[in-house]
Each structure stands twice: as structure tokens, then as C-alpha cells.
């Protein structure tokens, strides 16, 4: 059977239309997802393979997208580390024992994270078995910088003061933390691949807070080590937000597909990462709240920027927002398929 269109695009092969999937396509905006969440907490949903696979597959069936992404969270990997992870209502993730020194990093549990995350691998197996063969399944993890920022700040942050303080003041401790996270993340993603994930995405959601010089010094070698350690032949999507100043460095770090957020025009971003890479993106998520004719025009603008070149995966520039109308999301998928048909 022919490879899924999504995977063909990741490999920069010609496709009959531009494939589309959406970050956070299983989420609170969808009634089916809310029905499940009414019965279980977020963490229970993540840790119940049957339910995680169910919401993964339901999103594909409802939206008509070309790829599924396994339902999980980037911080599941830190729970086995003994830092006291909690998903609090309304406040997002909280780390009760944040890492503020080399001594704190030395106290991280030494056991590998991947064996403690078997519920994710089982969800991947179940989702892959339930999906049609033409729909690809994406696994994912948080990139080391973004995960480290949560571990150090104790939650979300605006300025990443504690993260940068540790990075600048104790580079040895920073390297130790990066090495720890690189190994844990490599094992975790390879576990998802072994379970049936056909591509993986690294979410570096907060890396845009760094200067290019800091990225090169403190992040680049670790990302290269991580991506170099993943199973060969499986497309890697390297995604970050606020990365207009870092696109060349993201490409240098690695990945078959470079994710571009909506703050950079796709036709300006692609030459910067190189036409030897595929690109993913990059509609502003708020466009889904606009009238249909506006949404059509903005979708056309993204497709026009890609110019029909092989290697474009349509996506939002970040995740679907919680109150997005489902009908608009379905309309977007239909528009992409219709307007990009070749």
C-alpha cells in the first residue's frame, strides 16, 4: 500500500494534495473530548491507554485530517523523575520540587523515564490498530529546553529568569540536566516509534525566549544529540514558537520537517531552513474564529506561500484554542484539501 500522504510530504515527495493535521486536535473545543474529561481527570486520561487512544482516533474521524497525534502531555516524562508533577485546575502544570541548583539536579531519580511510561506506548499501539492505514500516527515529546524550563521554574513562566540564571551561572549543571533529558527523551520517543508511531514531533514551545547566541551555546549540541539518537527513517518534526530569529539554528539542530509558527511568513521561512527540509505550518490559530470567507483567504495565503513545492504539511502555527468552533476546524481541513488538490 502507498505511504500515507502525510509521510510522503514529510519526505518531500510529490503529493496529490497538501496534507493537514492540527496541533491539539483532540482538546477541549471538541464535545467528544469534553465528554471523556467529564469522567476522568487530565492525568487519568493520559494514563488510561484505551481512553487516550479513543480521543486520538475520534479527532481524526471528526475532522478528516491526514494524521493523528497520540494524546499525551509533554510533562508526563518528568513524573518518574521525582519532582512532584501536578496538573492543577486552571493553573496548568505545577512542579512542586523545582530544580534550582546542581544539587537538585543530582537528586533526580536515576531510573530511566521510558519504562515508567508504558501507558503511552500502549496508547500508541491501540491508536495505530484503530486508525485506517492511510492515516499516519505521530508520537511526540517536549524538547529538552522546554521541559527543563518547567522543571526549573516550577511551572509556566513569562521571562524564564530561573532557567536562564541556572544556564548562565552553572553551565556544568545545565549540561548535566540536558544530558539527562536528552537520554530520557530519546528513549521515550524510540519507545513510541517501536509501538507504532510513524513520525515524531519535538515541541520546543518556549525556546523562542533565547537569543541565537544562547541557542547555539546551550541548546544546539543537545538537540543534535537527541535527534541523532532517534530511530533512522522515521520523520522528525522540529517545532518551536517565537522562533523567527532561530530558524536557521533549528534546521542546524536537525529534523526532517521544521515547524514554523504564524509570526513568520512561510515563503520567507522556507529558504532560511533550506529547501532540503520539509516545513509545517503556519496559520494563526485565531484565524479559526474568523468568518469563513476570511478563513478561506488566510488559508489560501499559506498555501500560496508554499507554492505547491513538495514538502509542505499544513498546520496551525500552534495548538487549537479551547473555544474554537469545531465547524470552523472541519471547514479548514476541507479548504486545505480542496484548494491544494493537484
Catalytically active residues are 24, 28, 37, 73, 150
3-state secondary structure of 105: helix
Q: What are phi and psi of 305, to 5 degrees?
A: -65, -35
The rounded distance, in Å, linking the Cα atoms of 213 and 230 is 26
pLDDT attached to residue 87: 87
- CATH fold, domain 5-340, is TIM Barrel (3.20.20)
The neighbour count for residue 119, using CB atoms within 10 Å, is 15
The rounded distance, in Å, linking the Cα atoms of 86 and 337 is 40
pLDDT attached to residue 1: 61
Q: How far is CA 232 from the centre of its chain?
A: 19
For the chain, domain boundaries: 5-340
The secondary structure of the chain in percent helix, strand, coil, rounded to multiples of 5, reads 50, 10, 35
Q: From edge to edge, which strands make up the β-sheet containing 67-69?
A: 67-69, 136-142, 199-204, 236-240, 257-259, 278-280, 312-313
C-alpha cell at 1: 500500500
C-alpha cell at 227: 535527534
**Per-residue confidence in pLDDT tens, the chain, 342 aa:** 689 999 999 999 999 999 999 999 999 999 999 999 999 999 999 999 999 999 999 999 999 999 999 999 999 999 999 899 998 776 689 999 999 999 999 988 766 677 899 999 999 999 999 999 999 999 999 999 999 999 999 998 999 999 999 999 999 999 999 999 999 999 999 999 999 999 999 999 999 999 999 999 999 999 999 999 999 999 999 999 999 999 999 999 999 999 999 999 999 999 999 999 999 999 999 999 999 999 999 999 999 999 999 999 999 999 999 999 999 999 999 999 999 999
Q: What are phi and psi of 75, to 5 degrees?
A: -95, 0
Bond from prior residue into 282 cis (ω within 30 degrees of 0): yes
Amino acid at each position: 500500500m502507498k505511504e500515507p500522504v502525510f509521510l510522503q510530504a514529510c519526505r518531500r515527495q510529490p503529493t496529490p494534495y497538501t496534507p493537514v493535521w492540527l496541533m491539539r486536535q483532540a482538546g477541549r473545543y471538541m464535545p467528544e473530548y469534553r465528554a471523556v474529561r467529564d469522567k476522568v481527570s487530565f492525568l487519568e486520561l493520559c494514563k488510561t491507554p484505551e481512553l487516550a487512544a479513543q480521543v486520538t482516533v475520534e479527532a481524526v474521524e471528526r475532522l478528516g485530517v491526514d494524521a493523528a497525534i497520540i494524546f499525551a502531555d509533554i510533562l508526563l516524562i518528568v513524573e518518574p523523575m521525582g519532582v512532584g508533577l501536578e496538573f492543577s485546575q486552571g493553573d496548568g502544570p505545577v512542579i512542586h520540587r523545582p530544580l534550582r541548583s546542581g544539587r537538585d539536579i543530582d537528586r533526580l531519580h536515576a531510573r530511566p523515564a521510558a519504562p515508567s511510561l508504558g501507558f503511552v506506548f500502549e496508547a500508541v499501539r491501540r491508536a495505530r490498530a484503530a486508525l485506517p492505514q492511510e492515516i499516519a500516527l505521530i508520537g511526540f515529546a517536549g524538547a529538552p529546553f522546554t521541559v527543563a524550563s518547567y522543571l526549573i521554574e516550577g511551572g509556566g513562566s513569562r521571562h524564564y529568569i530561573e532557567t536562564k540564571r541556572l544556564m548562565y551561572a552553572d553551565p556544568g549543571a545545565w549540561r548535566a540536566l540536558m544530558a539527562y533529558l536528552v537520554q530520557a527523551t530519546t528513549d521515550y520517543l524510540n519507545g513510541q516509534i517501536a509501538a507504532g508511531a510513524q513520525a515524531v514531533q519535538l515541541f520546543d514551545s518556549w525556546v523562542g525566549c533565547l537569543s541565537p547566541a544562547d541557542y547555539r551555546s546551550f541548546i544546539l549540541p543537545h538537540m543534535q544529540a537527541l535527534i541523532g539518537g532517534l530511530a533512522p527513517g522515521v520523520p522528525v518534526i522540529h517545532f518551536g514558537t517565537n522562533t523567527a530569529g532561530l530558524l536557521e539554528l533549528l534546521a542546524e539542530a536537525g529534523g526532517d520537517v521544521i515547524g514554523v509558527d504564524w509570526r513568520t511568513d512561510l515563503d520567507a521561512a522556507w529558504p532560511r531552513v533550506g529547501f532540503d527540509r520539509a516545513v509545517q505550518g503556519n496559520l494563526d490559530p485565531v484565524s479559526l474564529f474568523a468568518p469563513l470567507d476570511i478563513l478561506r483567504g488566510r488559508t489560501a495565503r499559506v498555501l500560496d506561500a508554499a507554492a505547491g513545492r513538495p514538502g509542505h504539511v499544513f498546520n496551525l502555527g500552534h495548538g487549537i484554542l479551547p473555544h474554537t468552533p469545531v465547524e470552523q476546524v472541519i471547514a479548514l481541513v476541507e479548504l486545505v484539501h480542496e484548494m491544494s488538490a493537484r
